[in-house]
Amino acid sequence: MPKMRPRSCTLAAAVSFAALLTTASMASAAPRTHVVAIEKMKFSAVPQNLRAGDTIVWINRDILRHTATARDGSFNIDLAAGASGRMVIGKAGLIAFYCKFHPGMRGMLRVAR
Amino acid sequence: MMHKKLIGAGMVLLMTAIPAMAQDGPSDPQIAHIAYTAGALDAEAGKLALLKSHNGAVRDFARTMIRDHEAVNGQALALVKKLGVTPEANATSAALSKQAAQTHARLEALSGAAFDRAYVANEVAFHGTVNNALRMTLIPSADNSELKALLDAGLTLFSEHQAHAEQLAKKL
């Protein structure tokens, strides 16, 4: 027959669970870091939950030089073969981007406030 | 009009050379030689464009051709060295070189917008020919999996180059 847990132990678990929830909700408000990789002449899927102030790390896994360049000029990350580059998303909205050297490579950032 | 006829003649020459090999299938050393030659010739064409063109978009395109083809050829050289393969000259790479020499002479005689249009038109045609060869003959004939993978990556890149050249041609 299973033993009953002491009441104090259950209470402690409830308190730590509440603390965990608080931490989680704080974390979602804090700036986060996302990765967009380039491989075989394609940008990987862009994370859907971007917010202004978040960081994007662009990783170039090709043997070719690429860029991640905003159509509106708000960013231009030059990526040598195998290199990576970080940037902070400066504003909310839809930001179309492409590779300056290979204009067929395209993507879109959907950034919430 | 003359240059279009010449491009056409060069492509016919090339397309007759490639299927002739396809019956037996080119060997890996021959495939490596064809792919390397095609890349080197396109980088050379880009260098000519940087000497002759004053159009910013054409010069940017030429720089990309030089950078990309040299990067892929660097990878190809590293691969053949690793595999212990010596690239082998053959009729297809000779046809490519012959056509490129004719194109080079024709382009050298042009200047200004006429040069830009002819250079970019040739880039469309050249990448089209090489991509067809990769798709129909070179990739299916390659035995070594690493060589096949490099050719596949090349086809993806050169297809983008072809589309880029087609878009650029519309603006000239």
Q: What is the pLDDT along chain B (172 residues), one digit of tens a residue?
A: 444 444 444 454 455 455 445 457 899 999 999 999 999 999 999 999 999 999 999 999 999 999 999 999 999 999 999 999 999 999 999 999 999 999 999 999 999 999 999 999 999 999 999 999 999 999 999 999 999 999 999 999 999 999 999 999 999 9
The alpha-carbon gap from B148 to the nearest alpha carbon of chain A, in Å, equals 14
Domain of B131, in residue numbers: 27-170
CATH number at residue B80: 1.20.1260.10
Residues A58, A38: contact at Cβ < 8 Å? yes
pLDDT in tens, A10-22: 545 554 544 444 4
Domain of A92, in residue numbers: 33-112
The CA distance from A108 to B18, in Å, is 41
Query: In angstroms, how far is the first alpha carbon of chain B from the final one?
Result: 16
Q: Is residue A49 part of a domain?
A: yes
Within 8 A of A103 by CB-CB distance, chain B residues are: 164, 167
Residues A75, A11: contact at Cβ < 8 Å? no
The CA distance from A43 to A45, in Å, is 7
Q: Is residue B53 part of a domain?
A: yes
Q: Is residue B154 part of a domain?
A: yes
Q: Is residue A81 part of a domain?
A: yes
Whole-structure pTM value: 0.82
Q: Is residue B13 part of a domain?
A: no
Q: Which of residues 47-76 of A touch B (CB under 8 A)?
A: 63-65
Proportion of chain B above pLDDT 70, given as a percent = 86
CATH number at residue A105: 2.60.40.420
Minimal Cβ distance to B160: which of A63, A100, A104: A104
Query: In angstroms, how far is the first alpha carbon of chain A from the final one?
Result: 54
